[in-house]
Amino acid sequence: MASREGPRAAGTDGSDFQHRERVAKHYQMSVALKSEIRKLNILHVVIWLLVLAQVTVSQLHLVSHSVVASPYQWEYPYLLSVLPTALSFAAMPRNNISYLVISMISAGLFCVAPIIYGGMEMFPVAQQLYRHGKAYRFIFGFSAVSVMYLVLVIAVQVHAWQIYYSKQLLDSWFTSTQDKKKK
């Protein structure tokens, strides 16, 4: 590469560029964590759509209650869990710390809290099913409590990883802003 100011500095052959091509670790981590959070957000949207479909089908009486059971009480507040996901998606492009913090807090309120309540609400029905083998609510021929516990287990994992990765991303962003302030 030619210089506009004159000849190249003495002693350089152009191979001293290696240090300038390294990307800071917190930028690499930010990109990797954003990718993971996006995947988890997509999984959460899929779970949310399944719960929404059950609530909608049941409330609009599109099929018989013997085919799709009426929703449990925890499913209604869980429908608000799309808000933390939307905030998380909004936080990613511009590294918006406040959106990510609000997303993490609201994930606990709108995602994790209904899941905990759902586990407690369905426990007596699950206990009856596994002790006596009697199920009274069904989703496409499967015990509704079994299907919804499976949804709960998957949702707990998705939300736990989502909150964990969001915290790691937040730490990465704070490292980035602290480095900028030092310079």
From residue 127, alpha-carbon distances to 2, 114, 120, 131, 146 in Å are: 77, 20, 11, 6, 11
**Rounded distance, CA 120 to CA 89, Å?**
30
pLDDT at 124 over 90: yes
Phi, psi dihedrals of residue 6, rounded to the nearest 5°: 140, -160
pLDDT digits (tens, 9 = 90+) for 45-81: 999 999 999 999 999 999 988 889 999 999 999 999 9
Q: What is the pTM of this model?
A: 0.80
Q: Using 50, 70 and 90 to split pLDDT, how confident is the model at 8?
A: low
Would you list the domain boundaries of the chain? 26-177
